[in-house]
A and B are shown apart, each in its own frame.
Chain A
C-alpha cells in the first residue's frame, strides 16, 4: 500500500514538473468555460441555471485529454528502461499500475475542482438542481476512471507514446461514438447490447441526476478490465512458460 502512495506521489509531481498538468488544466478550463458561457448552446442561450453545457463539452475534452496524460506513463518508462528499475524495487506490478492510475485521477480531480466557480456562479444566477450537478461530477469522475484505465492499457503495450495515444483514442472512440451509432442501426438484442456498451447512454443518465447501479457497474467494469489488461501486459515478461 505504501508503494502505491510513493509511486503516485512521484507521478503526480512529474505532471507538475513537466508543464503537462498546467497545459491540461488551462485548456480543460478554457474550453469548458468557452462553451459554457460564450459560445454555442451556452447558459445564456438556453436560459437555464444548469451545468449541462459544461458536462457535455467536458465529455469530449476528457476523452481527448486523458490519453494525452496517460500515454507516457508506462510507454516512456519502457522506452528509457526505468520500468526495470521500478519493478526490481520492492513493488508489485499491481502497485505500479494502481499508483499511476491514482495520480492521473487526482490530476483530473483537481481540474474538476477548479470548475467549482462555474457551479457557484450558476448557483448565484438562478435556481440550480444541485443533485444533478453533483451527479454530473460523479459521472465525470467515473468516466475519467474508465478512460484512464484504457489509456494505461494502451501505454503498457507499446514503448512509443504516439502509438499509445492513438490506440487509447481508438479504443475510446468506440465507447464514445461508434457503439452509439451502431446501436441505432440494429434492433433487438444486438441493438440493446451496443446501446449498453455506449458510454453516452450511461453518462447521460447519471448527469441527469439518476444514479443507477447499472451505470456505476458499467464504468467500474471498464475501469477494472482496463487495469487488469494493463497489469497483464506489464507482467507478461514474468510468466514462466
Chain B
C-alpha cells in the first residue's frame, strides 16, 4: 500500500495549516513525522484518514483518491488519533469487539483478533475493566489495539508512545518496526530518539511546509557538510605549536581548544575533506601520542531546531 500526497493544502480561515505539501510513502516503509506544535502534522493525518477534506490537492492511497473512495480507504487504515479519544463507559473487550465489528472483521475471526490484540498490546490483566478506569498508559494500549484490530495495511499513529512506561515504549517500538516490514506506517512524535529508533525515513514539517525529507543519516549530512572531530594528544611541548601544525594541514578548516581539557582539540575539516589520516600522520611525524579521535555527530535535536526555528 503506497501513499502519494500531491500538493495538499488545508486552510483554516486565512491560516494555512498545511501548505502545498507533497510526499510519498512506499509499502513497508515507516515514516516519522516531525514538527513543532501546530506545524500541521495532525491536520495532514486527519486528511489522510478521510476525517477532514483538504482545501486543495489530493492524496492517493494505493491509487484510490481520498476525495472519492473514502469508504474503501477507511477499511485499509488503522488510525490512532491525537489524545487517544475512547468511550470511557465501555469495557475494554466490548470496545474492541465494537471496533472490529465496525471495521468489518468477519464474525468468526473477531474473537481471535481480539485475543491477539490483547496479547500484543499487553492488555490481559485489565481487559475486563471499563476504559475510564484504566491508567493513561493502558488507555494508550487500547488505542493501539483498536487501530490494529482489523489488520490494516496502513497504520497512521499520532504520537503512539505518549503516556507509556519505558518498557512499554520499547515493546511498542519493536512492534511498530515489526509491523512496518509488511505494512506502511506513518507516525508522528515529539520524541526524537524514537524517530531514529523506529523510522526508515523522517519528514520534518514546519508551518505547514516540508523542510526536510530523508533518512536520519541524510539529514545529518545535509545539516552539516563538514566532518568534525574531537582529538586528544599527549606528550607535546607547546599547545600553540600543536594548534598551528594542525592548522597547516591542507584538509583542516578550523581548530579550537576544548575549554576544560588542555590536551583536547576540536577540529573541523574543510567541506568534502576528511582529515583523520592527516592528523594521524602528523602525530607520528612529531612523535605525539594520539589518545582519542572521535567524530562528533550532529544530534537530531540540533537539526530539528535549525530547521524549525526562525
Binding site for B on A (CB under 8 A): 2-3, 6-7, 10, 13-14, 17-18, 80-82, 84-92, 237-241
B77 → chain A closest CB, angstroms: 7
- Cβ of B276 within 8 Å of any chain A Cβ, yes or no, is no
Whether B87 contacts A90 by the Cβ 8 Å rule is no
Of the residues A17, A86, A90, contact of B71 by C-beta under 8 Å? A90
- Cβ of B81 within 8 Å of any chain A Cβ, yes or no, is yes
A238, B73: Cα distance in complex, Å? 15
State which size class the interface on B falls in: 20 to 34
Question: In the complex, which residues of chain B have a beta carbon less than 8 angstroms from the beta carbon of A13?
Answer: 94
Of the residues A3, A7, A18, A238, contact of B53 by C-beta under 8 Å? A238
9 contacts between A and B (CB under 8 A): A2-B101, A80-B85, A81-B81, A85-B79, A85-B86, A89-B74, A92-B70, A237-B52, A238-B50
Whether A238 contacts B87 by the Cβ 8 Å rule is no
B60 → chain A closest CB, angstroms: 15
Find the residue from B74, B83, B87 having the highest chain A CB count within 10 A.
B87
Of the residues B51, B54, B55, B67, contact of A88 by C-beta under 8 Å? B51
Q: Is the interface of B mostly helix, strand, loop or mixed?
A: loop
Given A88-B51, A88-B79, A90-B71, are A7 and B102 also a contact pair (CB < 8 Å)?
A: yes
A239, B53: Cα distance in complex, Å? 6
Whether A90 contacts B75 by the Cβ 8 Å rule is yes
The residue of chain A having its C-beta at the shortest distance from the C-beta of B88 within the complex is: A80
Whether A3 contacts B89 by the Cβ 8 Å rule is no
New A-B pairs, 15, CB < 8 Å, besides A10-B87, A82-B87, A89-B74: A13-B94, A14-B89, A84-B46, A84-B51, A84-B81, A85-B86, A85-B146, A87-B51, A88-B50, A88-B79, A90-B75, A91-B102, A240-B53, A240-B55, A240-B67
Question: In the complex, which residues of chain A have a beta carbon less than 8 angstroms from the beta carbon of B49?
Answer: 88
Whether A85 contacts B81 by the Cβ 8 Å rule is yes
A240, B57: Cα distance in complex, Å? 10
